């Protein structure tokens, strides 16, 4: 229970990777503030079984004012945020000249600008308490590109850059800031990409295999639980000097 007494906010934690991370942190003793548009009641009761305090805040992280509300709520009801996991994210796939400008703006605000806003609001409390962990769920697309993902790749490269700057600005403190760069993880976000391939060839199993074979040499998905364990390591004392890293967990994707 290395996180007993700490409070973690995980954005976008009603499903997928965020929910997996919330489970791991709660199992290590943390109190949890969940966030996201999925089934909040189901997520709360799921994470509550680890025994800590769990709540959900419905902030749309595209909106800085709603992020500020969430930060005030965390201060009021939990005494502040000790562990900030910036995980909320969306995807849209289209060639750059057909990419809807409105999708570009949404991806940049949800996947990148939200990380700036949550971070700037969480840092003063972390500095006061002399300890904090900021873990940004970037992507292999924070390190390399893929066709048709202009906004996502730009935003995730931005997250990796912001992570380095925050790590430098907190380098002499008990606060660390790192990014995790997952390859394919089978979540609703990726299921949508498998579904559109299935529409083209009619075979889900084949669509999954093709998706993996194009990029991920292990031919297996990363799991939310594995990512949760990496977040837990970054929250541990052993990781005190891991600062500004962009740590890939990608089945070999970026080794190619």
64-103: contacts with ligand NAD (CB under 6 A): 87-90
Would you say 36 or 132 has its CB closer to ligand NAD? Answer: 36
Active-site hit among 78, 104, 116, 152: 152
Binding region for ligand NAD (CB under 6 A) out of 1-9, 21-29, 94-102, 182-190: 182-190
Q: Which residues contact 6 (CB under 8 A, 6 or more apart)?
A: 29, 30, 31, 82, 83, 235
Q: How far is the CB of 19 from ligand NAD (least distance, A)?
A: 7
**Is residue 179 within a helix (H) or strand (E), and if so which, with residue range?**
strand 175-182
Q: How far is the CB of 116 from ligand NAD (least distance, A)?
A: 14
**Cα angle vertex 31, ends 29, 32, to 5°?**
125
**Helix, strand, or coil (residue 128):** helix
Would you say 99 or 131 has its CB closer to ligand NAD? Answer: 99
Q: How far is the CB of 139 from ligand NAD (least distance, A)?
A: 4
Q: Which residues contact 229 (CB under 8 A, 6 or more apart)?
A: 24
Would you say 84 or 137 has its CB closer to ligand NAD? Answer: 137
61 sits near ligand NAD (criterion: CB under 6 A): yes
Q: Which residues contact 222 (CB under 8 A, 6 or more apart)?
A: 182, 183, 184, 185, 249, 250, 251
Would you say 129 or 189 has its CB closer to ligand NAD? Answer: 189
**One residue of 81, 110, 151, 160 binding ligand NAD per CB under 6 A:** 110
- 179 forms beta bridges with 136, 246
CA 223, distance to chain mean position in Å, is 13
Catalytic (active-site) positions: 152
Q: Which residues bind ligand NAD (CB under 6 A)?
A: 11-18, 35-38, 60-62, 87-90, 110-111, 137, 139, 182, 184-185, 187-190
């Amino acid at each position: 229970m290395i996180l007993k007494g700490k409070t973690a906010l995980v954005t976008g934690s009603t499903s997928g990777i965020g929910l997996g991370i919330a489970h791991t942190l709660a199992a290590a003793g943390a109190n949890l503030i969940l966030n996201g548009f999925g089934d909040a009641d189901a997520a709360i009761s799921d994470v509550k079984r680890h025994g800590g305090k769990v709540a959900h805040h419905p902030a749309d992280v595209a909106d800085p004012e709603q992020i500020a509300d969430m930060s005030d709520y965390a201060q009021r009801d939990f005494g502040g945020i000790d562990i900030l996991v910036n995980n909320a994210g969306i995807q849209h796939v289209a060639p750059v000249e057909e990419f809807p400008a409105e999708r570009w703006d949404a991806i940049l605000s949800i996947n990148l600008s939200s990380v700036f806003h949550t971070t700037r609001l969480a840092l003063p409390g972390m500095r006061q308490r002399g300890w904090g962990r900021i873990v940004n769920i970037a992507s292999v697309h924070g390190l390399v590109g893929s066709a048709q993902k202009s906004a996502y790749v730009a935003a995730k490269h931005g997250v990796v850059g912001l992570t380095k700057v925050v790590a430098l600005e907190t380098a002499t403190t008990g606060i660390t800031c790192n990014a995790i760069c997952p390859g394919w993880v089978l979540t609703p976000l990726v299921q949508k990409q498998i579904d559109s391939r299935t529409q083209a060839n009619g075979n889900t199993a084949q669509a999954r295999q093709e998706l993996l074979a194009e990029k991920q040499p292990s031919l297996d998905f990363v799991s939310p639980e594995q990512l949760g364990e990496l977040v837990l390591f970054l929250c541990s004392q052993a990781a005190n000097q891991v600062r500004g890293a962009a740590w890939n967990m990608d089945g070999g994707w970026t080794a190619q």
